[in-house]
Structure formats: structure tokens, C-alpha cells
Amino acid sequence: MNRRGFLKGAGAAAGIAMAPQVAVGQTPVPVEGTTPVKPGSDFMVEVIRSLGIEYCAANPGSSFRGIHESLLNYAGNKMPELLTCLHEESSVAMAHGYSKIEGKPMMVMVHGTVGLQHASMAIYNAWCDRVPVYIIAGNILDVNYRRGNAEWVHSVQDCAAMVRDYTKWDDNPVSLSHFAESAVRAYKISMTPPYEPVLIVADGKLQEEPIEEKNLRIPKLVMTAPPQGDTAAVKEAARMLVAAENPVIVAGRMARSQHGMELLVELAEFLQARVQDQRLRMNFPTAHPLYGNPGTLPLNPNVTDADVLLALEAQDLWNFTHRMTPLNRFGMESQSTLKPGAKVITVSAVDLSHKSNYQDFGRYIEADLAITGDAEATLPALIEEVKRALTADRRRAIQDRGRKVVEANNESRKRHREQAAVGWNSSPISTARLSAEIWAQVKNEDWSLVSWDRMLSSWPTRLWDFSKHYQFIGTHGGSGIGYGLPAAVGASIANKKHGRLSINIQTDGDLCYAPGALWTAAHHQIPMLNIMHNNRAYHEERMYIALLGAKYDRSPETSDIGTALKGPNIDYASIAKGFGLYAEGPIENPNDLAPAIRRGIERVKKGEPVLIDVITQPR
């Protein structure tokens, strides 16, 4: 019987999801009446299916064609389902966004050399953002199996080398049993905090040659319990926090789940401590009275009044607690912004996964108490210790403090609304108006913002009511542009099965990197509302050029050169239509926004991706 006969006999040719041929933890049972000839990639797919991965994002590449074919014709294109991507960078960013919502990895397949090179920046973003991505890279290691030049230039001795600095683990299996063990191990490592991308090389010969190994089995996946902070250290942290007059909590990549958010709320309320959210995860409800003010200048919120600072998976904490010479001055000096005697407590799992070359670890923190452990996993113990340490006197003092925090919070919210009114009717449309108009249309829906909002001066954070973990996905991690659109598509894929309304406020420069992700959304019918924040520039860089021009008594007038995206203006609605989306715009009159957004939501609710181009103010 040929291979097709085997597939037919197994039921996969009819598109039915097959029961695994190889049960987890068991040796395979031969299927009666079928030929034993089947490719190694079938087994590889069985291994992948055992991990419960829902989707596989890929731009096709011949070095993984064996797995590609097995996914379709052996596994029936289910668990995982293939997502057709137009660029490997988009594949990884899509997985990145998906993981932010779903809390587990999407699989990505890349061509061993050029595909992985394309994917590398997005892998770096995921690394910096502590996000699991499960990467399978195709490669042909054995020279005897390289058919012609294309397979020579697409083959590599050590495939993972180019991304090893920013992946948590990789392996290059030389047998199917080796693949099974490493594939399971990789998943486990990726999903142990700190979450990070992992990479397994799928050798072309192993994929495409018939299975010859005997007694193949898939190891049982046992997830690692996340590392919790040392008990004595947690007790000491609780003592310091309860004794503090003004503790402040800095939340970075703290909440991995809704439960994590709820734990942070519980801790903050026991302490009546302000939470300064770095908005890298959905850590804390934005309407909570203890939520720190996100709209202050300078960018890093003021923590000068803290006597104890608790940093939970914080990013670049040093910059949070120090003032450095800004760009409009010469030289570089720094000074602490904490008041004398203030104590710093850090809780983070990132210390378990440091590497040397890339500098995403930030500056060394001279903490008074540094706890290595996942913050979300450590919070239950910390909360218990805080409860134990609370005396009646301390409870009274803490309640008084809470009232002051709430008053300050109310005042800052009032200021935000007053500032939002400035330029309300202007064109280009203010980012505050844009954010308020979107909020008016989505606030009664089960919504999820699948984009960062810093480029809109954080107006959604300031004006919307974020209360659920899936309502915000944080940021790119490594500031690699080209992340936004595909990450939003990936997050929207995760939201789809939950019936949530995904909203992507999409910056123009980012979309231009890989607009093909729009086609992926249309092709796979991913409902999502894309609203362009079209300021017609790579505006951050435009500001820097103007700044330096003025600083050196030259001219800020040239700052459009090399940064502005105008002349001709880019017609994003036409681009989206070309990729098969319903699209409107450009919208320049703010009064046209609400009806356009309503029309868009109607379409999205029918299962379509939509794009509305809006001409906006810079920030």
C-alpha cells in the first residue's frame, strides 16, 4: 500500500482528526491493514499534537515540507491548524500576540536559514517580552540529502546559532526518538517562568524518510510548577511592606493570568499601596482607586514618595528609580529619585534566565531584598505573610494612607479628562478624541485591546476601564517594529473562540513593515477591528531628529526627511481592500469617527477583519 492508501486507511484523508497513532507515554500500536511505510514527519506531528498546540503559523519553506504535508494530510489540519503567513517575522509576532491572550505558545515553522533570519527580530521581541513561542526550524544536515543549490544555501551546520542568544533552549535532534524527547522538553522549558521562545530543528531527512526506528514513544509532558520566592525572604518582604509608611508597587510583566491580576489587587488593597503599572501586561484594573497615574511626565511615574518599593517582574527598574541626563543636555549623569533610606524589594524569575550578549536585562539593581521567583507564583505567600504581619495599629494607618491615594487618583483622572478636551474637534484628530470615540462604541462589548497604547499618549489606559486580563496585551518587548499588526492578528485569533471583540489601534509605520498580516486575517476570517493611528511618520524618530537639530543650533526643519510617510500619503484603506478586508478612510473629521467605528463593529461581529484609516495627531 502506498502512502495515500495508509492515510485513507487511517481516516485522515477525509479530513477527520485522527486519534494519535502513538499514545503519550506508550509505544505505538501498528495499524492493521496499513503499510508500515510512513514518513518521520507523521511521528513528529504526533509529538506536536501531544502538546495541545492549537495553531501553527508559517510561511511555506521546503526545509519543513515534510511536517507541513503531515500536518495537512495526516493530522487533518487540526491541532495545530496551519495559519498562512506572508513573512516569517509576522509568523512569530502572531504567535507572540496569541500567547499574550491564551497564555500558551503557538507553533511557528521557519525555513532553517533565510526563514529564521526573517523571523529573528520577532523572536528577539518575544524573548525580551518573556513570551513562549514554539519554533520548528527545517534544515537538511546530511550533505547527501541536499538536492541542488537551493538546499545547500538553505542548510546550516548549527541552525539555532543565529537566535541562541535570545531563545531559552534549542536542540538539533538526530533521530525521531530524540525529536520526541526534545520537543516535549522544549515545550516544558518554554512554559516555565520566565516564559521564553524555544527552537527545535526538524531535520529534512528525518521528516521525509520512512520511519525505521522501533519502539517510538512520546514522553509524557509534565509542566513545571513555577518557581516561588524563598519563604524567609517573602516573610521579610511582608514585614518591610507592612511597616512602610508609603509602599509603592511597580508591576512589570507580573500578571500571567486573571488570577495574577486578582492577587495583585488583593495585595494592594491589604497594603493600600499605589500600583505603578508599567503596562507590559494587564496587571491591575485601570479604574481601581489604587491604580497609579499613567499620564505623567516624565514617562516614568513618580516614585519619589515611596519608602518601600516592591518591584514585581519590573522592566528596567533602574530607569524607574533614577533620573538620567536627558537628551537635551550634554554628558551623562544619574541620580536616584528615591528618597534617602527608601528600600527596594524585587521579585522576578528573570534572574533564572540571563544571557550575556543582548542587554535586555537592564542595569544592575542594588535592591535591599532581591527575591528570585515568579511574582505571580510568589504573591499568595506574600499576601499571607502580609496578613499575618498586620496589627490593628498598622491597619488603621494603612486605611488613612489609602484615602489619600484615592484622592490623588481622582484628581489625576479629572486632569486627564480636562486635557483630553484640548483639541477635541481638531483635524488631524487628537489621540484622546480617537480613544474616547472607540471607547464609546466598545465599552458595552466583551472587548480586548490587542495593541499597545503608549504611542497614543496612553489615552486608552487613561480613559477606558480595563478590568480583565485579556483586555490588554502590553507591548513588543524588544521595540522591534513590525510587531504590532501581526501580534494583533495573533491575539485576535486567540480571542475569536471566546467571541471577544478585538480592537487593534494600529500605528502606520509598523503596518508598513509587514502589511501581509492583513491578508492572513482575511484569509482565516479573523474578526478584528483595526483602527489606524496614522500620523504619517515614524514619529518617535522625527522628534529625535528635530531635537538634535535644535540642540546643536542647526535646524529642526529637516526632521521630516527620512522619517515622514507623506508625499505621497499612504492609502491604508486601499491597501487593506487589496488584501481582502472591508476598509474605510482616511477619516479626517472627528465627527465621522463614531459612525465609521459602528459600521466596522457590525462587520467584525459577522466574523470579518476591518480596517478604518484615521488621520491622527502625532501622539
Partner 1 sequence: MRRIILFTLASALWAQSPNAKNGQRLFEIKACYQCHGWQGQGGLAGPRLAQTKLNLQGFVAILRNPPPSQMPPYRATVLTDAEAADLFAFIQSIPAPPPVDTIPLLKN
Task: Please report, for residues 16, 572, 613, the alpha-carbon distance to residue 584 in angstroms, rounded to integers and kept in the order given.
Answer: 40, 9, 6
Residue of 281, 276, 352, 286 lying closest to 321 (CA atoms): 276
Please pick, from the candidates 86, 160, 238, 420, the single residue that binds partner 1 as defined by CB under 8 A. 420
Please pick, from the candidates 219, 423, 516, 580, the single residue that binds partner 1 as defined by CB under 8 A. 423
Binding status of residue 358 toward partner 1 by CB under 8 A: no
Q: Residue 99 or 286: which CB sits closer to partner 1?
A: 286
Please pick, from the candidates 30, 33, 148, 326, the single residue that binds partner 1 as defined by CB under 8 A. 326
Please pick, from the candidates 362, 556, 599, 603, the single residue that binds partner 1 as defined by CB under 8 A. 556
Size of the site for partner 1 (CB under 8 A): 49
Q: How far apart are CA 355 and CA 338, in angstroms?
A: 29
Minimum distance from residue 431 beta carbon to partner 1 (Å): 7
Cα angle value 315/321/323 (rounded, 5°) = 115
Q: Residue 211 or 548: which CB sits closer to partner 1?
A: 548
Binding status of residue 298 toward partner 1 by CB under 8 A: yes
Binding status of residue 295 toward partner 1 by CB under 8 A: yes
Minimum distance from residue 297 beta carbon to partner 1 (Å): 6
> Could you say which residues in the range 490-549 bind partner 1, by CB under 8 A?
539, 542-543, 546-549
Minimum distance from residue 457 beta carbon to partner 1 (Å): 3
Q: How would you list the strands of the sheet with 528-533, edge to edge?
A: 447-449, 501-507, 528-533, 609-614, 582-587
DSSP 8-state code for residue 109: E
Please pick, from the candidates 224, 426, 525, 589, the single residue that binds partner 1 as defined by CB under 8 A. 426
Phi, psi of 9, deg, nearest 5: -60, -30
Phi, psi of 343, deg, nearest 5: -105, 145
Q: Residue 37 or 327: which CB sits closer to partner 1?
A: 327
Q: Residue 50 or 430: which CB sits closer to partner 1?
A: 430
Site map for partner 1, 111-140, x if CB under 8 A?
------------------------------
One-character DSSP codes across 592-613: GHHHHHHHHHHHHHTT-EEEEE
Minimum distance from residue 406 beta carbon to partner 1 (Å): 17
> Could you say which residues in the range 441-480 bind partner 1, by CB under 8 A?
454, 457-458, 463
Stretch touching partner 1 by CB under 8 A, among 92-100, 420-428, 498-506, 572-580 = 420-428
Q: How far apart are CA 495 and CA 280, in angstroms?
A: 19
**Cβ-contact 203, 146 below 8 angstroms:** no
Q: How far apart are CA 67 and CA 74, in angstroms?
A: 10
Q: Residue 288 or 469: which CB sits closer to partner 1?
A: 288
Please pick, from the candidates 350, 432, 450, 565, the single residue that binds partner 1 as defined by CB under 8 A. 432
Binding status of residue 436 toward partner 1 by CB under 8 A: yes
Minimum distance from residue 593 beta carbon to partner 1 (Å): 10
Look up cell 484622546; give the residue: 432
Q: How far apart are CA 120 and CA 137, in angstroms?
A: 12
Q: How many CB atoms lie within 10 A of CB 35?
A: 13
Q: Residue 358 or 424: which CB sits closer to partner 1?
A: 424
Site map for partner 1, 375-414, x if CB under 8 A?
----------------------------------------
Q: How far apart are CA 423 and CA 502, in angstroms?
A: 27
Minimum distance from residue 462 beta carbon to partner 1 (Å): 10
Cell numbers at 613, concatenated: 484609516
H or E element in which residue 369 lies:
strand 369-372
Q: Residue 99 or 315: which CB sits closer to partner 1?
A: 315
Please pick, from the candidates 421, 591, 605, 606, the single residue that binds partner 1 as defined by CB under 8 A. 421
Q: How far apart are CA 596 and CA 587, in angstroms?
A: 9
SS3 495: helix
Please pick, from the candidates 1, 17, 153, 327, the single residue that binds partner 1 as defined by CB under 8 A. 327
Please pick, from the candidates 359, 444, 553, 568, the single residue that binds partner 1 as defined by CB under 8 A. 553
- Expressed in angstroms, the distance from the first to the final Cα of the chain is 65
Minimum distance from residue 567 beta carbon to partner 1 (Å): 15
User: Cα dihedral angle (501, 85, 194, 24), rounded to 10 degrees?
Assistant: 100
> Could you say which residues in the range 600-619 bind partner 1, by CB under 8 A?
617-619
Stretch touching partner 1 by CB under 8 A, among 78-86, 92-100, 176-184, 416-424 = 416-424
Please pick, from the candidates 328, 335, 359, 444, the single residue that binds partner 1 as defined by CB under 8 A. 328
Contacts for 333-340: CB closer than 8 Å, 24+ residues apart:
337/302, 337/303, 337/304, 338/303, 338/304, 338/306, 338/309, 339/304, 339/305, 339/306, 339/307
Cα angle value 369/372/376 (rounded, 5°) = 105
Q: How far apart are CA 447 and CA 503, in angstroms?
A: 7
Please pick, from the candidates 46, 374, 437, 510, the single residue that binds partner 1 as defined by CB under 8 A. 437
Please pick, from the candidates 145, 318, 361, 439, the single residue that binds partner 1 as defined by CB under 8 A. 439
Minimum distance from residue 453 beta carbon to partner 1 (Å): 10
The one-letter amino acid code at 511 reads: L
**Contacts with partner 1, residue ranges (CB under 8 A):** 295, 297-299, 323, 325-329, 417-424, 426, 428, 430-432, 436-437, 439-440, 454, 457-458, 463, 539, 542-543, 546-551, 553-557, 559, 617-619
